[in-house]
Amino acid sequence: MLIIARSAVPAGRVATQLRSHLTLLACGAALLLPACSRNGNENGEQGNAAPPAAATAAAPAQPADASLAAQIAEKRRHLVADAVTALQETQRALDLLAGNRPDDAVAALERATGKLDLVLAADPGLALAPVDVRAVVHDVLTTPDAVTAVRRQATAALAAGLVQDARHLLAGLASEDVISVTSLPLATYPAAIRQAGALIHGGRAAEAAAVLQTALATLVVEETIIPLPLVRAEALIDQARPLAEKAQRTPEENGRLQHMIADARLQLQLAQALGYATRPDLDGLLDQLRQIEAATQGQAIAGGGLFDRIKALFTAARGHANARPAT
């Protein structure tokens, strides 16, 4: 059984929410749902589209929390306050039109236009003005072997023409944070606001409302995918580094070090099974991890070369995880 969970996280509370969310995962809370069990019967037996049973320990939550919170904070720094106000005034104008208050709607659109003029005056070359940041968490507790088994079932379903069975099988195969940034397209949005104002002045409120609704539908959403297995593996390697470089380790410290390396390997294998990054990325990370493991057998790693190289590989893998296929 794959155990999945999804949650929308307001950006301002992301760290607290993620810690709570992943703690629930670790405890097997009742909120978690078995993925892809579409054809279960009254006895709880799974149909052909159900994935195999799998169990795994929850990965540490805090490193993923910190990574997501830091990236959201960075993106929120770039929100354009005047553009946010312009968006709010647009939505207010729509509400006023629905309430048959065209004069107030015009005033709201004039305020929106003024704010957009300020945005363009401050940065004439700005194409997209960020107005909102949101985070959604998709997580799955499973093993690489279980994911591989589900992928095989989905492939067989597609080969048999059972597209919907394949879709439901694959729907839960994600372990990622998704940060969405919504922006106003400044090449078209200001013109739409002015057009709506002119239509209201001409007594054509319904057409003005349609123009505003179309403008709001043209907001641009850009997503950043943060694969949680990669985040967790990198955090485990960072935790292992001080021990690996320690000259005299106790047997207990050696055990902890090898445990962290084994956990990091499991996370990398899960990332590979879920299809994050590219095969060369994941093969390179696993190979570098093997070198670190071999170098820590009974002695300290001299210098930070191995760890610096794996850090660079993680950076490349995260970039490729966000690459979009050419269209």
Q: Which pLDDT band holds residue 325 (cuts at 50, 70, 90)? A: low
Kindly state the average pLDDT of the residues 256-280: 93
- Kindly tell me if the per-residue pLDDT of 149 is higher than 90: yes
- Minimal CA–CA distance to 180: which of 220, 237, 209, 228? 220
**Predicted pLDDT of residue 8:** 56
| Contact between 282 and 317 (Cβ < 8 Å) | yes
Q: What are phi and psi of 184, to 5 degrees?
A: -85, 130
Highest mean pLDDT among 82-91, 238-247, 251-260: 82-91
Kindly state the average pLDDT of the residues 41-55: 37
The CA–CA distances, whole Å, from 229 to 42, 83, 271 equal 35, 36, 5
**Predicted pLDDT of residue 38:** 34
Q: Which of the two residues, 11 and 137, has the higher pLDDT score?
A: 137
DSSP 128: E
Domain boundaries, the chain: 1-24+78-218, 228-321
Average pLDDT across the chain, whole number: 80
Give me the residue label for tokens 């990325």: 281
Instruction: Give Dmax (Cα) for the chain.
Output: 83
- CATH code for the structural domain at 228-321: 1.20.120
Beta pairing class for 220-227 and 33-34: unpaired
**Predicted pLDDT of residue 300:** 64
Residue 54: how many CA atoms within 13 Å on its side-chain side? 24
Q: Secondary structure of 191-214 in the HEC alphabet?
A: HHHHHHHHHHHCCCHHHHHHHHHH
Q: How far apart are CA 178 and CA 8, in angstroms?
A: 9
CA end-to-end distance (rounded Å), the chain:
35
Tabulate helix, strand, coil % of the chain (nearest 5): 60, 15, 25
**Predicted pLDDT of residue 71:** 77
- Kindly tell me if the per-residue pLDDT of 109 is higher than 90: yes
**pTM for the whole thing?**
0.71
**Predicted pLDDT of residue 263:** 96
Residue 260: how many CA atoms within 13 Å on its side-chain side? 20
Q: Which of the two residues, 46 and 231, has the higher pLDDT score?
A: 231
Tens-digit pLDDT profile for residues 271-280:
999 999 888 9
- Minimal CA–CA distance to 139: which of 108, 185, 175? 175
Q: Quick one: 242 exposed, middle or buried, by C-beta within 10 A (0-12, 13-18, 19+)? A: exposed
| Contact between 201 and 250 (Cβ < 8 Å) | no
| Contact between 218 and 272 (Cβ < 8 Å) | no
Q: Which residues pair with 130 in a beta bridge?
A: 183
